[in-house]
Structure 1
């Protein structure tokens, strides 16, 4: 086979989110709307941060990267979801492995971008006098390079392990994308190594960032409680609330999906869980950070006024 794998399977059929005919068309328009909002929201946030020089700070540098990652991995997943609502969604073996690679890469990147954002908030609130030095351009760049490196290593590890499996006859994937658990169920060879790799790689890329974020916000909370003025505490809380919401949505659903024993069959609730961090999350993040962030709201208002009156 062209892929170099000794499997007899050359293509996979993605079953999609649901097999109920009466739900196909309504869900198509729902997910099309979500994707349009995701693209417009994230591109809008990218443009807004790019054209406003006062947003060129570490906090918005990471937010810019988060929007870019959300846009990318939503585009890796959602078009295939939409296709499954209107016709049989058939992907080649190579396309399936490519989707698995890019999905893994972008999701792991997001883990570490969210971690970097938590560290940025910790320095801003707990070490304000050292903020410019601690969160210098070089430090931000190194954090991003570290995120990309972890994404690359994790994605390559998952993909190479999947390429070593043999798929004999079964090619129907009970999912709307080429994800690890449903693909492992189709293998006619042992998946023990793959499951071990998933547990280790996902464990590192979920538990380590989660623990770092938890420690950061524990220190932040302790610092906030020592602020005497109510206004000061409210302002400090407001700078963190958006990030906490994003972290809870992303890590909660991804941990539920991967940090558990793989069931005998890929269940519908597993699909729903992945929807939250692959489709809903990228749509919600621009709104979470814009509707709850006065700086972004002011920048948006000024930008719109310039465009209207120019």
Structure 2
């Protein structure tokens, strides 16, 4: 088979066909993506402007919103332009860009683990919170999450685009993803796929283990509380984070830890829509609707806007 030069463009087959039902789904996805952009941007703005939210818990949450914003901005505009213009080409550089920022989202795994540690300290050691969850440690956790996600994204993008691709250069997806792109390579990719699989498993299992340890200690501490009010407050504090953890890791495990024989293009697309579009819109909704401090900051911001008018 004829090899394609690295400068040759790829073809994204996309998510939707040009039928009435698919047009409705396309508009629905755009509405959800726009809601996600507004929700995460608003969450960032509230945390930035309200001094009461300048605490490690909310600083970590702001980074989660920032990662979700980058993910949506990388995937959805390209998908929408391709659908509206019927031009489904993407350059290798653009493909590498999408792989990098998509994999950068893997930093969310470690960010969620850091947030679980924050909840553990707040519930189990509230008096020592300023020491055990210092600003220096918080900043180190944030930088570590970004670094690990960026390092993994850079390695996957560089290694994937280093392969020679055959004349079937159609990607049966609506964005470039390393596992999908590797299937088009002419060379033997078994070693790379094995290493990529191990990296994905480690980036999922290590944070999950840390989260399980944190919440096991939290559960043990909550069961020892004598006050029902204290128990309710502790569960309310953790429920939002647990909801986000379940959404994120459920989709990630289903996507990256399934055997290859169980993967199909259509199922991969559905799951990809879930974790690139639907999950980012749920994160700010979960934290805003279930958090009184965030709702209070939003109310103050709305009151200021009304006063200025």
* TM-score range relative to shorter protein: over 0.9
What corresponds to 2:238 in structure 1?
240
Query: 300-309 or 83-92, which moves further after superposition?
Result: 83-92
Q: How does 1:83-102 map to 2 (within 5 A)?
A: 83-86=81-84, 87-102=86-101
Q: Is 2:75 the partner of 1:77?
A: yes
Unaligned 5+ runs, structure 1: none
Q: How does 1:74-153 map to 2 (within 5 A)?
A: 74-86=72-84, 87-105=86-104, 107-153=105-151
CA RMSD of aligned residues (A): 1.7
TM-score, length-scaled by structure 2: 0.94
Unaligned 5+ runs, structure 2: none
Q: CA deviation at 1:244?
A: 0.7
Q: Is 2:54 the partner of 1:51?
A: no
Q: CA deviation at 1:307?
A: 2.2
Q: CA deviation at 1:284?
A: 1.0
For residues 257 and 99 of structure 1, what CA distance do their matches in structure 2 show? Answer: 17
> Contact conserved, 2:204 with 2:249, CA < 8 A, in 1?
yes
For residues 264 and 11 of structure 1, what CA distance do their matches in structure 2 show? Answer: 29
For residues 241-288 of structure 1, the C-alpha deviation after alignment (integer angstroms, 9 at most, x for no partner) is 111111111111111111123249742111111212111111111110
Q: CA deviation at 1:83?
A: 2.8
For residues 198-232 of structure 1, the C-alpha deviation after alignment (integer angstroms, 9 at most, x for no partner) is 11111111111111111111111111111111111
Q: How does 1:157-306 map to 2 (within 5 A)?
A: 157-263=155-261, 266-306=264-304
| Runs of 4+ with >3 A deviation | 5-9, 263-266
TM-score, length-scaled by structure 1: 0.94
> Contact conserved, 1:7 with 1:168, CA < 8 A, in 2?
no
What corresponds to 2:19 in structure 1?
21
> Contact conserved, 2:14 with 2:172, CA < 8 A, in 1?
yes
For residues 295 and 270 of structure 2, what CA distance do their matches in structure 1 show? Answer: 32
> Contact conserved, 2:96 with 2:158, CA < 8 A, in 1?
no
> Contact conserved, 1:9 with 1:167, CA < 8 A, in 2?
no
